[in-house]
Amino acid sequence: MLAYIIRRLLYAIPILVGVNLLTFTLFFVVNSPEDMAVSQLGQKYVTPEAIQAWKRKNGYDLPLFYNPQADGAGAVTETIFFSKSLKLFVFDFGRSESGRDITTDVSTRMWPSLAVALPTFVVGIWVNICVALLVVMFHATRLDRWAVFVFVALMSISYLFYIIGGQYLVAKTWKLVPISGFNMESQPWKFLILPVLVGVIAGIGSGARWYRTLFLEEANQDYVRTARAKGASEIRILFRHILPNALIPILTGVVVLIPSLFMGSLLIESFFGIPGLGSYMLDAINAQDFAIVRSMVFIGSILYIIGLILTDISYTWADPRLRLD
Amino acid sequence: MTVAMQVQNLCVQVGETGEAIVRGVSFELRAGEIFALVGESGSGKSVTSLAAMRLLPNALQITAGAVHVAGQDLFALSEANMQSVRGRRVAMIFQNAMSALNPVQTAGDQVAETLRLHTRLAGAALRARVVQLFAEVGIQDPAARYGFFPHQLSGGQQQRVMIAMALACEPDILIADEPTTSLDVTIQQQVLGLIRGLTRSRQLAVLLITHDMGVVRHTADEVAVMYRGEIIERAPVAEFFRNPREAYSRRLIAALPDLTHFHDAWDGPALLELDEVKVHFPIRKGILQRVVDYTRAVDGVSLTIGRGETYALVGESGSGKSTLGRAILHLEPVAAGRITFQGQPLQSLSRRAMLPFRKQIQVVFQNPNSSMNPRLTVGEIISEGMDSLGMGLSAAQRAERVGALLERVQLPADFCDRHPHELSGGQLQRVAIARALAVEPQLIICDEPTSALDVSIRAEVLDLLQELQREFGVSYLFITHDLSIVPSLAHRVGVMQAGRLVEQGSAEQILNHPRHPYTRALLASVPRLDSA
Amino acid sequence: MKPLLLWSDILIYLLVVALCLFFLQLRRDPQTREHWRRVFSSRLGMVTCTLIMAYVGIALLDSLHFRRALDPVTGGGGEIYYDNKVTSVLDVMLAGMGERFERTYSAPFALQSFEKQDKKDEHGVAYRDFPLLEHAGRHLQAPADRWPDVLGKSLEALLLGLVLSAAVIGLQWYCLRGSALPWSASWLTQAGVICVGVWLVSISRYYHVLGTDLGGADVAYQSIKGVRTGVLLGTLSTLIMLPIAVSLGVMAGYFKGWVDDVVQYLYTTLSSIPGILLIAASVLLFQVYIDLHPDYFSIGLEKADARFIALCFILGVTSWSSLCRLIRAETLKISQLGYVQAAHAFGVSNSRILLRHVVPNVSHIILITFVLDFSALVLAEAILSYIGVGIDPNMASWGNMINGARSELSREPAVWWTLSGAFLFMFGLVLSANLFSDLVRDAFDPRSAAGSGTP
């Protein structure tokens, strides 16, 4: 098992290198620092001096890969590639183009993100499983067919409408909670309820429909027939036989998302004014702050890879057939 | 003998189309006796048993009939009452225990569940009862096996767990649906012996559903033949085999091996020679996935096949016989040894250098459904080899040849525009033979060509193969797990076990005077007419 | 009049031709034909397919662009100048629906503007009131006549719509006699679509059915123009993604070894990057490129179109990994099957095995992905536009409409109609696409057909 995990970790290295090279190509080779300076400064103020000054301020005045002017190791280290890309590997994200320290920003902003994303995730899975179980109990009846239709209809509504509708109804019309904002210290639940509720409801359509298929797939297995032949009741079969088996693909399917919860949700956070990483990214995109985007890409891929490794581990943990002895 | 279960005039149909699956089936099960329901796939025998237990899938409906158990009509019971009949009075065991057992529940818990449902046993007493049941069905070290998951048990043990589960509440009636079909023959024999023993000792009334006449012969007391949803013949077993009334029954019985007529030994010139051939698959382990060992799928096999000869390679699943066939075809790399075809070494040829030999060595696979591309027509399938191996034929000549080949394998020539899914299994296997013949090979490797076919069709395909051999002088390497088809077919036989050839010789020698203990074990499990 | 070919117009018509050829090819295969028959033998399949076709029809009509010739300038030497505004055939069919601008917001069927304006009465006294709209209800004698007038005009339009539908359906009925498929469901839908269309066009001459937006543009018109963007984005992106995913997936699963390692590495790397960031970064970079090279595009629409195609490319290039994974797995399975083994035994070359045996047998996965991804992409467009990396703000799209109107619900009274317009049209397309893709999947995916057991 340990050897397996170590191997997976080793596999992660070339992937991170790949991500790094890709972002580097995108941000510095395809799009030169000059272009960036022009778009940051605005067409009006573009003079060669201004561009130079902007590049120096942000550390983009160095050569891309090799610096012939510097001596010794500096020929490699005093380059954009080293200072902007390689340093990501030691979690040194540097400063954003507006001059803020990215590492501090990330470490303070990930907790509000988690405060929204984690409850949404846990409650969401629980609600979806319950809804799906309820529907499966009525399998092959009119209720089941209508439920599937409702699921598909729920899936067909854009996430934006869930948020806008939730804010309009719950916060504006019924005035139950504040429309947006966030305060970690006093009554954070007041600000969290609506985003979590919206997140959960928006996920019911696709989630419950998927789980229903998983349950039905299990319901067609031979062992279910065996259980019926034993004289077990339908409810017992559902809870004692189908559910434990279907939980394996459910759990292993969602594990990959757990690390990414730190990243938060772009839309939810920006609509509800939650100062998490999601709104951080959105602000960076709108301000065309590529330093932040670069760092978030790197963090995101690390979290995804951790998720992949956790998925593999959870498989062997959840499914006795795959348990490594 | 008392009647334990009575099925009267049972009719089942497909709900949507109204197509009848079971038409008016009646029979009764008696305590202490095994009643065998025999038929080929699609005859409605499994549906009959599921219908009796009201376990049919939603798409099927019971339209008429009654099932009486101890004076109660099961069809009149409420679902809740029916649940107390299932497992308590009537128990079932299914084919393929691996999938019929819950993969995430331990074997012991699954047996315990039946007891929990129908008795008041709990705690240590429950566990003790399960262990006792395990011991009764012959599971070694029963206390330790309690906590095993199904996948940790062998196929035979899984089926024993199923039987323990069925017997847990001491039912009066046991329905066994193809209980041994997915097991190797040696294990099959043990499981059937167990069922027979329990029938006598517990006075069970058993309904045994099977397609295998050998199983019937050895196990059952009474037999009923099902054909297209009806019971066409019913008789005590001895009487049935001595004097079958229906032509269809006679065909089924004729498929049983006759160990008195053999082909003469063959001594033509050698066509294919294998010398210490090995095929190894690497086992990788550790952080760097280094190759630490090899699975020795084929571990030094030497044999010779003569021109126009049939060599039967016999062994159970996993013995490496199919891998050997694939290695001869260059579909698996050979780790060591020599393959010589017409005096020329094959094992080290490149893809291109192998091409001329592709015309000489052809193959027919086991599963006719997967061995043909569903998107192509029969004509395209047959002419593929002629295309790629450059037979230098014009399109018109090819079409003509396809027609001739189809006729030769006894199919109408207009089949060439059909697609595989429009053909039956037997027809597909004829197309596969025609495809192999199209390039005029010297040797055809037949990898279990008949094991996916029903017995009555099996004989026809085997006859066809022999006719073609007489006509074209082609040699066969016939890979099979089924010793019973060997006598009518093979000149020589080799027995494979764990990658090695443990015994080879003429068909008569192997079947009548086996020397190796493994060959004897295989033979002991072959059902045959003369041994009764 | 001068026809104008935008790149996306060319691509969409190429796509239509390609799809037609693909379906003709598929028709040859009886199994595929049987699957399609299953899809269309359900009434739901007929209804949703008809709706999708209606959307696609609108998108295609909206993809035939031209520039109107301006009236010749007197003494200009006979040279003809063309309008900078690009018109499409659809605009012509909508009978000037897009040219009736108001000052700002107005509610559906309103006669007055949503916001008050400074006015002076005949005595020169200043007061504030809701000004009358320029293009709504001008023909009315008195405001009280509005609803009876709407009703009368609706009935008129409905009658015309019914006559038109009767003609269309009658023609089909004549051609399709004896067909076993439930055409009546499709005909009902067609009649519905035609009636709604005729009603919308004719009533829009007198009222703004869905009101007007901040800039005073007709919301119904905006919503209809958004159809092209949604449909094109959904199809073009998938089309760009397909060749990458199929070729890499098939090769990885067939050749195994180092090819497989490389492909797996590529898609793991790509899918490890948060998709939204990758898309955002790429779009921003492209936007910088457009901004720095304004001389490449002669008119604004061409610039917007370039950004649109770039977006399709970026979505396509970043989203191939999941399909690639599916195809790789299926190819691994297929290469173990008898017919590929038999082809090896016949010495068939690798490329021929891939083209003849492997690719046709993964085509059901391709088809299922195509219909499944379509709706996801339409939904993604709205979110990307909200983030500011979607469609060019000058191009009509539902995402831009939502983005522009999302904060207006907090006004008193709320401005709800812009959102509703985008919602209605988007929901209609995505819902029918989702329902249709469910049917396609049930018919084509052997696992789901056997497994789900849905009736």
Q: Which residue of B has its CA nearest to C364?
A: B375
Query: Which residue of chain A comes nearest to B115, CA vs CA?
Result: A230
Closest CA to C107 of C221, C218, C223, C210: C210
From CA B127, how far away is CA B115, in angstroms rounded? 10
Shortest Cα distance from B223 to chain A (angstroms)? 24
CB–CB of B373 and C360 under 8 A?
yes
Taking the Cβ of residue A36 and every Cβ of chain C, the question of whether any pair is shorter than 8 Å is answered with: yes
Overall average pLDDT of the A158-171 stretch: 88
Radius of gyration of chain A measured on its C-alpha atoms: 25
Tokens coding A315: 């498989």
Looking at residue B1, what is its pLDDT?
A: 63
Q: pLDDT digit string (tens) for C208-255? A: 888 888 888 888 898 999 999 999 998 889 888 999 999 999 999 999
- Nearest of A269, A260, A281 to residue A192 by alpha carbon: A269
Q: Does A180 touch chain B (CB under 8 A)?
A: no
Strand partners, B494: B313, B504
pLDDT: which is higher, A75 or B200: B200
Task: Name the more confident of B245 and C116.
Answer: B245
Distance from CA of C26 to the nearest CA of B (A): 10
The shortest C-alpha distance from C215 to chain A (Å) reads: 21
A9 contacts chain C (CB < 8 A): no
Report in angstroms the alpha-carbon separations of C385 from C294, C398, C400.
Answer: 22, 9, 6
- What's the CA gap between A303 and A321, in Å, rounded? 28
Is the model's pLDDT at C455 over the cut of 70?
A: no
Is residue A164 within 8 Å of C419, Cβ to Cβ?
Answer: yes
User: What pLDDT does residue B162 have?
Assistant: 92
User: Are C434 and C375 contacting, i.e. CB atoms less than 8 angstroms apart?
Assistant: yes
Positions of chain B with pLDDT lower than 70, given as ranges: 1, 265-266, 286-288, 525-532
Query: Which residues from chain C sit within 8 angstroms of residue B370, using beta carbons?
Result: 337-339
Q: Measured between CA atoms, how close is C133 to chain A, in angstroms? A: 28
Q: pLDDT for A45-56, tens place per residue?
A: 677 777 777 777
Question: Can you give the pLDDT at residue C78?
Answer: 64
- Predicted confidence at residue C245, as pLDDT, reads 94
Q: Is the pLDDT of residue A26 over 50?
A: yes
SS (H, E, C) C195-218: HHHHHHHHHCCCCCCCCECCCCCE
The percent of residues in chain A predicted with pLDDT above 90, rounded, is 27
Rounded mean pLDDT, C109-121:
79
Q: What is the DSSP letter of B7?
A: E
pLDDT of residue A132: 94
B396-422: burial string, b at 16+ Cβ within 10 Å, e else: eebeebbbebbebbebeeebbebbbee
Taking the C-alpha atoms of residue B317 and residue B497, their distance in angstroms, rounded to an integer, is 9
| pLDDT over 50 (residue C451) | no
Which residues of B sit within 8 Å Cβ distance of C? 58, 326, 329-331, 354-355, 358, 361-363, 365-367, 370-376, 381, 384-385, 388-389, 419, 421-422, 432, 435, 439
CB interface of A with C, residues 302-321, below 8 Å: 304-305, 308
Q: So what's the pLDDT on residue C69?
A: 80
What pLDDT score does A325 carry? 43
For residue C67, give the DSSP letter. Answer: E
Q: Max alpha carbon distance in chain A (Å)?
A: 85
Element (H or E) spanning B22, and its range? strand B20-30
For C369, the enclosing helix (H) or strand (E) is: helix C359-387
The band of C126, judged by pLDDT with boundaries at 50, 70 and 90, is: confident
Tell me the whole-structure pTM to 2 decimals.
Answer: 0.86
| CB nearest to B385's CB, from C338, C346, C357 | C346
Distance CA(B275)–CA(B303), nearest Å, equals: 7
CB-nearest partner of A26 from C285, C289, C387: C285
- Whether residue C30 has pLDDT greater than 90: no
pLDDT tens per residue, range B325-360: 999 988 888 888 999 998 888 888 888 888 888 889
Greater confidence (B531 vs C187) lies with: C187
Q: Using CB atoms, list chains with 3+ pairs below 8 Å to chain A.
A: B, C
Q: What is the mean pLDDT of chain A?
A: 84
All partners of chain B with 3 or more CB pairs under 8 angstroms: A, C
Q: Quick one: closest CA in B to A240, which residue? A: B105
Give me the mean pLDDT over the C51-72 stretch: 87
Choosing among B102, B109, B153, which should be mutated to test the A contact, i.e. which has the most A CBs within 10 A? Answer: B102
List pLDDT tens digits, range C431-440. 999 999 989 8
Contacts of B483 (CB under 8 A, 6+ apart): B185, B257, B314, B511, B522, B523, B526
**What's the average model confidence in pLDDT over A236-261?**
90
Say which range, A122-136, A176-190, B117-131, B168-182, has the weakest mean pLDDT: A176-190
Tell if the CB–CB gap between C274 and A297 is shorter than 8 Å: yes
The mean pLDDT value for C66-92 works out to 75
CA distance C216 to chain A (A): 23
B207 in reach of chain A (CB within 8 A) = no
CB contact under 8 A, B55 and A241: no
| Helical segments of C204-272, H only | 219-255, 257-272
Round the average pLDDT of chain C to a whole number and report it.
Answer: 85
Q: Please answer yes or no on whether C348 and B375 come within 8 Å at the CB atom.
A: no
Closest by Cβ to B363, choosing from C342, C352, C360: C342
pLDDT the model gives residue A42: 67
| Closest CB to C345 among B58, B329, B373 | B329
> Model ipTM?
0.85
Residues of C in Cβ contact (< 8 Å) with B366: 338
To the nearest whole angstrom, how far is the Cα of A230 from the nearest Cα of chain B?
Answer: 4
Give the angle A222-A225-A231 at the CA atoms, nearest 5°: 150
User: Does the beta-carbon distance from A285 to C387 stay under 8 Å?
Assistant: yes
Tell me whether residues B384 and C349 touch, CB distance under 8 A: no
Rounded distance between C-alpha atoms, residue B242 and residue B236, angstroms = 10
